[in-house]
Amino acid sequence: MQSVTLPGGERVPALGLGTWMMGEHGGHEPESVAALKRGIDFGMTLIDTAEMYGDGGAEELVGQAIAGQRDRVFIVSKVLPSNASRAGVAAACERSLKRLGTDRIDLYLLHWRGGVPLRETVAGFVDLQRAGKIRHWGVSNLDLDEMNAVWAAPGGAGCAANQLLYNLGRRGIEWDLRPALSARGVPIMAYSPLEQGRLLGNRTLKQVAAARGATPAQVALAWLLQQAGVIVIPKAANLAHVAENRAAAEIMLTAAELAALERVFPPPGRKMPLAML
């Protein structure tokens, strides 16, 4: 499994597991827990969740999946903007820790920007880091102007990741945001790498996949995994999908395959508004 290095030097798996849409059925979802456990067994030990998903239900399922193997996994969770005041992040983090059944979150992100000044949220994250409740902190859905505000805040240089909508069909961040993050060694966590499945019907993607005996999902994931500093977090509740996604990490797309994809999924030619789901 490839890895990505966080700004402090720690390495995390480049391919992890998403959990949006999990935990929406009252904490009893054995298929989702089984899928997460299978992913962990396959080495996809970075798990992305959020207090928002299933209104805490996804964090509870992650807690079930990691029980007895906490030290093998790297847990990412997110605080809602409405809880992102200095005191609010502390309280939200305690609730998340309880649902996850752990004493620490490895990477804690601001889910998206709300009304709280970014410097206040950063101060809350730094407090949590000092208290040992979180090991790293970062952001999600922040464009370059907002990243600059984060970096300018006291402690802001500690930002360890920006989680963004990024896949073959969503390349806007390559214009100026990705280069700025890359210059500071801040990884991108590529969310909705399959565009929630909507990418998979694309004719060129299907052709490239068929020609090498892979699936369109594997090619879409391999395209992201082939880029430096990108952590990819597909969500799969289906065990066959988990296995398929893991195998994508073994695929190295050729220059000809990359060129074929580039013709249908071109990079941006100008600044684009930040895309979000």
Ligand X SMILES: NC(=O)c1ccc[n+]([C@@H]2O[C@H](COP(=O)([O-])OP(=O)(O)OC[C@H]3O[C@@H](n4cnc5c(N)ncnc54)[C@H](OP(=O)(O)O)[C@@H]3O)[C@@H](O)[C@H]2O)c1
Q: Give 132 or 273: the residue with its C-beta nearer to ligand X.
A: 273
Q: Which is nearer to ligand X, 118 or 256 (CB)?
A: 118
Residue 45 interacting with ligand X (CB under 6 A): no
Q: Which listed range, 94-102, 144-152, 188-196, 202-210, lies at the site for ligand X (CB under 6 A)?
A: 188-196
Residue 245 binds ligand X, judged by CB under 6 A: yes
- Total residues contacting ligand X by CB under 6 A comes to 27
**Distance between CA 265 and CA 42 in Å, rounded?**
30
Q: What share of the chain is helix, strand, coil (3-state, %, to 5)?
A: 45, 15, 40
Amino acid at 149: A
Residue 179's contacts (CB-CB under 8 Å, 6 or more residues apart) are none
Per-residue tokens: 102: 């752990």
Which residues share a beta bridge with 17? 47
Task: Output the smallest distance, CB 110 to ligand X, in A.
Answer: 10
CB nearer ligand X, residue 90 or residue 274: 274
Beta-bridge partner residues of 207: none
Q: How far is the CB of 130 from ligand X (least distance, A)?
A: 25
Judged by CB under 6 A, does residue 192 bind ligand X? yes
User: In the complex, what is the shortest distance from the CB of residue 136 to ligand X, in angstroms, rounded to a whole number?
Assistant: 16
Phi, psi (degrees; rounded to nearest 5) at 46: -100, 120
Quote the longest CA-to-CA distance of the chain. 54
SS3 of residue 172 by DSSP: helix
Count of C-beta atoms within a 10 Å radius of residue 159: 24
Binder among 77, 96, 140, 162 for ligand X (CB under 6 A): 140
* Beta carbon of residue 167, minimum distance to ligand X (angstroms, whole number): 7
**Selected binder of ligand X within 6, 13, 20, 205 (CB under 6 A):** 20
Would you tell me which residues interact with ligand X (CB under 6 A)?
18-20, 48, 111, 140-141, 163, 191-197, 200, 217, 233-238, 241, 244-245, 277
Catalytic residues: 53
